[in-house]
Homo-oligomer: A and B are copies of this chain.
Amino acid sequence: MQNPTAPTDLDRRDPLASYRDRFIGAESPLVYFDGNSLGRPLRATGPRLAEFVEQEWGGRLIRGWDERWFLLPEVIGDDLGRVVLGAAPGQTVVGDSTTVLLYKAMRAAVAARPGRTEIVIDRDNFPTDRYVADGVARECGLTLRWIEVDTAAGVEADQLAAVVGPQTALVVLSHVAYRSAHLADMAGLTAIAHDAGALVLWDLSHSVGSVPLRLDECQADFAVGCTYKYLNGGPGAPAFVYVAARLLDEVSQPVQGWMGASDPFLMGPEYRPAPGIRRMLSGTPPVVGMLAMQDMLALIEEVGMDAVRAKSVALTEHAILLADERLPGVSVASPREADRRGGHVTLNHPAMRDVTAALWAEDVIPDYRDPHGLRLGLSPLSTSFAEVDAGLESVRRTLERLTA
């Protein structure tokens, strides 16, 4: 394949090109198109973890809780709010997994809209969102109302308007669709749900860190997202949850743990939820797991989310251009308008399952999603244009070979 480590003209003109060197593996010939499933580690991260073990855990021991760790879910939550979420402080905490936080947020939202009987979700939402919504609906005696969407698209305003009403407790939407990369209109869809008196839970897993977010400005109610994709937190890193300040006083979630209590170390007879966003916590914060994302947050803050997005758009534009020019029989399943598209590009072809397997064998690592999509996750700060060139050329040759 072409050399993915030799800069192209586009790389030479890329003002963010040098940031790629901050990541482990930048020098390797591997082509990595799966940063939207698991981001590469920063070079700073290994030493950060080792230093944490030696100095902070090993040196401060239990005192670390008083000194720093107890507040870390809020501190990193506020960092997320400022750097990538467009959220004022006090509305975001880190903890649990995306799934557990989806559960807690859905239960909290449904409880905040008593008497309403439906949860609205689209048929192509990520599986864990659908599964959690299904479980919450069942146990709370609600009905799931499905929005049918084409797998190549996302939820549009008229589709949502057609199904929400006085019966709607909650609308669950993904900001960027995991298959197509369709970018939803957060402000517009939220307003439609609010007009019906419903709450909205946004899953930001496929957008946070690659698409600028304005949760406060969009009047989002709840949001949940994962940190191991574009936030490079490491495999299984803890998730985050955002609850709008205006809702915090009324919010209650069912996993009543000591770390979500108003005074955890009083260890009193009754659970009283903590004031503010801490009530979304349950167990002991996963400190070791939440360290790595701090490096990426610092980097994104240094670069700025708008510059990250500009690079992301340039990378996806370039991939689409190459697909159009060089991959006959392949269709672009992602929106062609940059402002409707997240940070990945999905290319459809009946042979893509086999293509993906063949590419992996030669160290070109895209993702595959049914029915026949090759998914190119182009992490803005760790992906070069040369990598896109080399990877798409491998796709071309492999397709040619497998369909000959």
Chain A residues close to B by CB (< 8 Å):
24-25, 30, 32, 34, 37-38, 40-41, 45-47, 49-54, 57-59, 61-65, 69, 95-100, 102-103, 123, 126-128, 130-132, 134-136, 139, 226, 228, 234-239, 254-259, 261, 264, 267-271, 282-290, 292, 360, 365, 367, 369-370
B239 touches A283 (CB 8 A): yes
Task: Quote the shortest CB–CB distance from A108 to chain B (angstroms).
Answer: 13
Q: Of B30, B50, B238, B289, which contacts A47 at CB under 8 A?
A: B50
- 14 inter-chain pairs at a CB distance below 8 angstroms, sorted by A residue, are A24-B58, A25-B59, A38-B61, A41-B57, A46-B51, A46-B58, A98-B284, A103-B255, A127-B268, A131-B271, A135-B255, A135-B271, A139-B254, A236-B290
- A97 contacts which chain B residues (CB < 8 A)? 95-96, 257, 282-284, 286
Given contacts A24-B54, A38-B65, A236-B290, 6 further A-B contacts (CB under 8 A): A30-B61, A57-B234, A65-B235, A100-B255, A127-B261, A130-B269
A65 to B95, CA, bound (A): 21
- A271 contacts which chain B residues (CB < 8 A)? 127, 130-131, 134-135
- A367 contacts which chain B residues (CB < 8 A)? 62
Task: Quote the shortest CB–CB distance from A286 to chain B (angstroms).
Answer: 4
- A30 contacts which chain B residues (CB < 8 A)? 61
- A255 contacts which chain B residues (CB < 8 A)? 99-100, 103, 132, 135
Task: Quote the shortest CB–CB distance from A361 to chain B (angstroms).
Answer: 11
Of all chain B residues, which has the CB nearest A285? Answer: B236
Q: Of B47, B53, B239, B256, which contacts A131 at CB under 8 A?
A: B256
- A98 contacts which chain B residues (CB < 8 A)? 283-284
B49 touches A61 (CB 8 A): no
Q: Of B47, B51, B292, which contacts A288 at CB under 8 A?
A: B292
B41 touches A53 (CB 8 A): yes
- Which 5 residue pairs of A and B lie closest in terms of their CB atoms, listed nearest first? A97-B283, A99-B257, A99-B283, A24-B58, A46-B53
- A95 contacts which chain B residues (CB < 8 A)? 97
Task: Quote the shortest CB–CB distance from A214 to chain B (angstroms).
Answer: 26
**Which interface residue of A102, A127, A267, A269 has the most chain B CB atoms within 10 A?**
A127
B49 touches A24 (CB 8 A): no
